[in-house]
């Protein structure tokens, strides 16, 4: 195990979880369909639970959580708000979130490959994040 790889992978998971929660928060006001809203709220809850676990692991290492890139976060918010203002359909909301899930899975897998010496427990957390994203994407496909 390489503590540097574990630290770096945890920080990327932390930023990814915060990005996912923020994106769900940005989409929720536009979602009127009850079942879809429930799926998003449950996924947000699950992301926040994992975020607390990841941040607790970072705290054990004496580090803070990682905030998402401010530029990327701002661009995401603008894209979501713009697209849903002009096309506030459940299909558009599902499309935006599934695109984000796909990007999240790609990013975490990139970091898993970039930090191969991370501890197995940290890799497990990263894989949990991937499964959360894949699950949300699967559930929202019915709305595309």
pLDDT digits over 10-44, tens only? Answer: 999 999 999 999 999 999 999 999 999 999 999 99
Domains of the chain are 3-143 (1.20.1260.10)
Percentage of the chain beyond pLDDT 70 is 99
pLDDT given for residue 40 in this prediction? 98
User: How far is it between the farthest Cα atoms of the chain?
Assistant: 49
End-to-end CA distance of the chain: 42
pLDDT given for residue 2 in this prediction? 63
Tokens 């990005």 belong to residue: 19
pTM above threshold 0.75: yes
pLDDT given for residue 74 in this prediction? 85
DSSP 72-104: HHHHHHHHHHHHHHH---HHHHHHHHHHHHHHH
């Amino acid at each position: 195990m390489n503590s540097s790889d574990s630290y770096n992978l945890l920080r990327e998971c932390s930023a990814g979880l915060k990005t996912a929660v923020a994106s769900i928060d940005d989409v929720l006001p536009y979602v009127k369909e009850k079942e879809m809203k429930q799926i998003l709220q449950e996924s947000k809850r699950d992301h926040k639970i994992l975020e607390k676990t990841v941040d607790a692991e970072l705290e054990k290492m004496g580090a803070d959580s990682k905030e998402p890139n401010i530029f990327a976060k701002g661009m995401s918010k603008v894209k979501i708000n713009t697209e849903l203002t002009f096309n506030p359909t459940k299909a558009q909301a599902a499309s935006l979130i599934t695109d984000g899930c796909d990007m999240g899975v790609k990013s975490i897998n990139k970091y898993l490959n970039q930090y191969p010496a991370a501890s197995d427990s940290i890799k497990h957390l990263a894989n949990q994040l991937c499964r959360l994203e894949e699950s949300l994407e699967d559930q929202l496909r019915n709305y595309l």
